[in-house]
Structure 1
Amino acid sequence: MNAARIQIDDAPLNKFHVRITALTFGSNFSDGYALGIISMALSLIGPQMHLGPVWQGLLGSSALIGLFFGSLLLGWLSDHIGRQKIYLTNFVIVTVASALQYFVNDPVTLFILRILIGLALGGDYAVGSTLLAEFAPKRYRGVLLSALNVLWTVGYTLATIVGYYLQGTPDAWRWMLASGAIPGLIVLLLRIGTPESPRWLIRMGREQEARSIVKKYVGQNVEIDAMIAEAKRQAFAFRDLFAKNVRMRTVFGSLFYVCNVIPYFAIYTFLPTILSNLGFEDNFGIDTILNIFLLVGAIAGLWFTERLSRRGFTIYSFACLTVALFFITILPTHLHTLILILFIIFTFIMSAASNLTLIYPAELFPTDVRASGVGVVTAVSRVGSAIGTFLLPLMSVKASMFGMTAVLLFGTLVSVLWAPETARLALDEASNPLHHPAASLDAEDATPELQ
């Protein structure tokens, strides 16, 4: 007796879904590792290369600058040539450029190599989450995408540990930076053989290839007729990201993302400096505590993703982060215990809420322009965070903290006004603006709620 026919969005979770999620972890782990390791290496590179605050800011933000161009250009390209090619090529660049950092002797060369690393990781942000979202069943899409942030946090935390234990070795900063080639090579080898997205193949008119991939990797009883019908009913081009029905999603996605990551990257890239200015002497001990809560928060975010609506989770987290950072900034530095408690709360919520940056963008845009849309909002977020990371060494810590509090407050207001609800919907339904006009809000969506 034949099994009942089901749509791809309703397919049960299988080993392939877990595998594609694990392979997509690569960019998030490597991005977290790249940011964490440069923050450790800069303390050694600065004195050796006699770097001023401008070069420190440039090197600290270099990967973020590359992420801007990579997510924008490679996201657009993958909507035209496919997800799989870029998904594989990105880590050739990451592996080679990471290894070459060992041999640099000047800040210009290091800056260029880190731009290249960021370029590849930016492309992988656009393509990796897109590819995963296009395979994932709707029931598990949120938790699979948000799991990517856990690995970002693991990468960041591991980088600080590696950096700490390499500090006393000869050529320590060279080994720190070059160590990023190890996970890069592992991911590259494991990604060989990854299939193309069936949703993209359908949009290209290659329906038979799409059916073959779905049957082989998702299930013999999974059919894609509804997806084919949806593709024929509505088509989108890159310019439509800024057209009437889609542009509010582009605006919201960009502002939501940039308001989330500016404080994250600026604070945790220069965390030792910030802790010193807040009056803490045992920076490594405090840094370790905060890294633990970064990891705990990312894991807890998986639960929040399942229990809270996308809209509710977004609004609540921005509001809590705004209040916590405001009090961290204004409290007298001698109140160490209270500041540390607030910093732990801030770190936990920031890490949990960052899961949304891997979920929302992939759910906002139609398949035709999904990678382009994810690329655009990622690019905007990275140029914002690069500016924030560059400016922080040039400003006083207190002024920077007030500035980041203002960014979080703006994120709260944007989310209250425009955050759509996309949880538990089939991907084509969640991402089609014709199902959710303008800001995608109705009376039921307007109040944050538990699912």
Structure 2
Amino acid sequence: MERRREKNPVEDAEFSSFHARLTIYSSGGPFLDGYILSIIAIALTQITPQLHLNATWSGLVGASALIGIFIGGFLGYVTDKVGRQLMYTIDFILLIAASIAQFWIQTGWELFIIRLILGISIGADYPIATSLLAEFSPKKHRGIMLGVTLVAYYIGSTVAYIVGQLMLNIGPDAWRWMLASSAIPAIILVLLRLGTPESPRWLLQKGKRAEAEKVLKQVYGSSASLDDIIVPSAGEAETSYLKLFSPGYLKRTLYVGLFYMAAVAPLFAMLTFGPEMLTSYHLFEGASGYGAAIISFLFLIGCIPALFLVNKLGRRPMIILSFAGMTVGILLLGLFPNGPVSIILFGFVVYAIFSGGPNVMEWLAPNELFPTEVRGTAVGITTSISRFGAVFGTYLFPWGLQKFGIGPTMLVGAAVTFAGLLVCIALAPETTNKTLNAASNVRRDGFSGKHRAHS
């Protein structure tokens, strides 16, 4: 009997005002991530002499939020257990408190601890917000909706550099106001997120059928039903870290974690110490904050074509092509540390533009490749794996500049990026145009699972 080809009210839904609001609210975490990780770059120009930080402590302070994100990523397990909506606002309360507390710190270790707490709240928000967004996203719009969250990261980063450079005029204690300023957008986002519904996929997976159906009809209309989002029934598929390392899903865990790590290890170091990096290249001297804002803006621009190519070109071809371009860009920065300026600028542009592919895939891939019962756990674990590399990259960057200079330091980044290219060639699957159920379903022996007839 021929299978019916009727439209699925959920997977084939049109982009609505609800989807627009949820995308904006879910992008709040990445915006604050970019803001918090970048504002420290400007603040360190005042903090370092005032608190007498050496290269080791400067690296630790720069990496502290990343270490926190590594820890916070493990809280993805909690969001799979207790739900997306509850954690969606709670984590930002911690972020607001830590942001304000930075105003009163007196020592390097105090700043390290508080920014570690900031990172934990950001790391927790990644699996919470992106899982919720993915589970409400129609398949046609999923790539763009999740990709926009990464655009928000670079908007936050660009805004931070500009705000930081402007606030330097306040005086020697301007850095305190810079760091505490992240509380303002965090408060706004907490208020906006109030009233966001729980994921119907999570509710159904927990056996809360009536609540799940109520949310579905509120968001997608009276024609939507539980049959449109069939997931394993309650008790059939429990949340477990071990599932991420089971046959079939192990390759996916390695793929996402390793490509994510290879992408962000050099990138976060460059963003966190943007002014120092540009000074090493003798660019934007005297206004390195604005120069760093321009570099961050280039990363933002790179995300825009990737938002559309992720569906048209496909997930696998796009990320392979992107890593190849990034490798060329950062290799030029390592091979020509003394110029000419045209080659240095060209290297920055190429690296930034091609980084859009991995940026878009960093949260799209784990949300598509893992099922509802471990989706938050998967996003959290792969984020933690990526931050493991980012911590070392950010911690070692100022030490590398001091010990070896900018050229050799960037060549190490090129080697890491090339390793990411090899990971994608070997492991990247193709999930373009698949429903969320089909994309996350695997056989024990590979990436492409058979999806259910109703998918």
Q: Per the shorter chain, which TM-score range?
A: over 0.9
Q: Which residue of 1 aligns with 2:376?
A: 371
Q: Is the CA contact (8 Å cut-off) linking 2:441 and 2:449 kept in structure 1?
A: no
Q: 2:69 aligns with which of 67, 70, 81?
A: 67
Q: Distance in 2 between matches of 1:338 and 1:78?
A: 46
C-alpha distance after superposition, 1:221-254 (max 9, x if no partner): 1122153365479625321111112111111111
- After superposition, where does 1:185-196 map in structure 2 within 5 Å? 185-196=187-198
Query: Is residue 427 of structure 1 aligned with residue 436 of structure 2?
Result: yes
Q: Is the CA contact (8 Å cut-off) linking 1:419 and 1:439 kept in structure 2?
A: no
Q: Which residue of 2 aligns with 1:382?
A: 387
Q: 2:214 aligns with which of 202, 212, 216?
A: 212
Matched letter for residue 53 of structure 2? L
Matched letter for residue 367 of structure 2? A
C-alpha distance after superposition, 1:282-328 (max 9, x if no partner): 33554343233222222232222232211011100001111121122
C-alpha distance after superposition, 1:184-230 (max 9, x if no partner): 00001111111111111111111111000110122221122153365
Pick closer, same or farther for the CA change 1:336–1:238 going to 2, 3 Å: same
Q: Is the CA contact (8 Å cut-off) linking 1:146 and 1:305 kept in structure 2?
A: no
Q: Distance in 2 between matches of 1:281 and 1:212?
A: 56
Q: Is the CA contact (8 Å cut-off) linking 1:418 and 1:440 kept in structure 2?
A: no
C-alpha distance after superposition, 1:34-68 (max 9, x if no partner): 01101110111000000011111111011111101
C-alpha distance after superposition, 1:140-161 (max 9, x if no partner): 0000000111111110000000
Q: Distance in 1 between matches of 2:83 and 2:376?
A: 10
Q: Distance in 2 between matches of 1:20 and 1:196?
A: 12
Pick closer, same or farther for the CA change 1:82–1:234 going to 2, 3 Å: same
Q: 2:419 aligns with which of 395, 410, 419?
A: 410
Aligned residue for 1:138, secondary structure, equals coil
Matched letter for residue 158 of structure 1? V
Q: Which residue of 2 aligns with 1:446?
A: none
Q: Distance in 2 between matches of 1:32 and 1:194?
A: 23
Q: Distance in 1 between matches of 2:296 and 2:110?
A: 30
Q: Distance in 2 between matches of 1:366 and 1:132?
A: 14
Q: Which residue of 2 aligns with 1:145?
A: 146
Q: Distance in 1 between matches of 2:125 and 2:118?
A: 11
Pick closer, same or farther for the CA change 1:113–1:354 going to 2, 3 Å: same
| Structure 2: gaps spanning 5 or more residues | 1-5, 451-455
Q: Which residue of 2 aligns with 1:271?
A: 274
Shift of 1:441: 10
Shift of 1:99: 1.1
Matched letter for residue 312 of structure 1? P
Shift of 1:281: 5.1
Query: Is residue 28 of structure 1 aligned with residue 30 of structure 2?
Result: yes
Query: Is residue 154 of structure 1 aligned with residue 162 of structure 2?
Result: no
C-alpha distance after superposition, 1:127-178 (max 9, x if no partner): 1111100011011000000011111111000000000000121320000000
Q: Is the CA contact (8 Å cut-off) linking 2:32 and 2:182 kept in structure 1?
A: yes
TM-score by length of 2: 0.92
Pick closer, same or farther for the CA change 1:290–1:219 going to 2, 3 Å: same
Q: 2:54 aligns with which of 48, 52, 55?
A: 52
Q: Which residue of 2 aligns with 1:394?
A: 399
Q: Distance in 2 between matches of 1:409 and 1:29?
A: 28
Q: Which residue of 1 aligns with 2:453?
A: none
Q: Distance in 2 between matches of 1:218 and 1:159?
A: 37
Q: Which residue of 1 aligns with 2:258?
A: 255
Point out the more displaced range, 397-406 or 19-28: 397-406
Point out the more displaced range, 237-246 or 47-56: 237-246
Aligned residue for 2:141, secondary structure, equals helix
Shift of 1:399: 2.8
Point out the more displaced range, 371-380 or 236-245: 236-245
| Structure 1: gaps spanning 5 or more residues | 443-451
Q: Is the CA contact (8 Å cut-off) linking 1:38 and 1:177 kept in structure 2?
A: yes
Q: Distance in 2 between matches of 1:92 and 1:29?
A: 16
Shift of 1:7: 4.1
The list of structure 1 runs, each at least 4 consecutive aligned residues, that deviate by more than 4 angstroms after superposition, is 229-234, 439-442
- After superposition, where does 1:71-220 map in structure 2 within 5 Å? 71-72=73-74, 74-170=75-171, 171-220=173-222
Q: Is the CA contact (8 Å cut-off) linking 1:11 and 1:222 kept in structure 2?
A: no
Q: Distance in 1 between matches of 2:437 and 2:48?
A: 49
C-alpha distance after superposition, 1:354-380 (max 9, x if no partner): 111121111111111010011100011
Q: 1:438 aligns with which of 434, 446, 450?
A: 446
Q: Is the CA contact (8 Å cut-off) linking 1:6 and 1:221 kept in structure 2?
A: no
Pick closer, same or farther for the CA change 1:157–1:281 going to 2, 3 Å: closer
Identity %: 38
C-alpha RMSD of matched pairs (Å) = 1.9
Aligned residue for 2:355, secondary structure, equals helix
Q: Distance in 1 between matches of 2:322 and 2:236?
A: 35
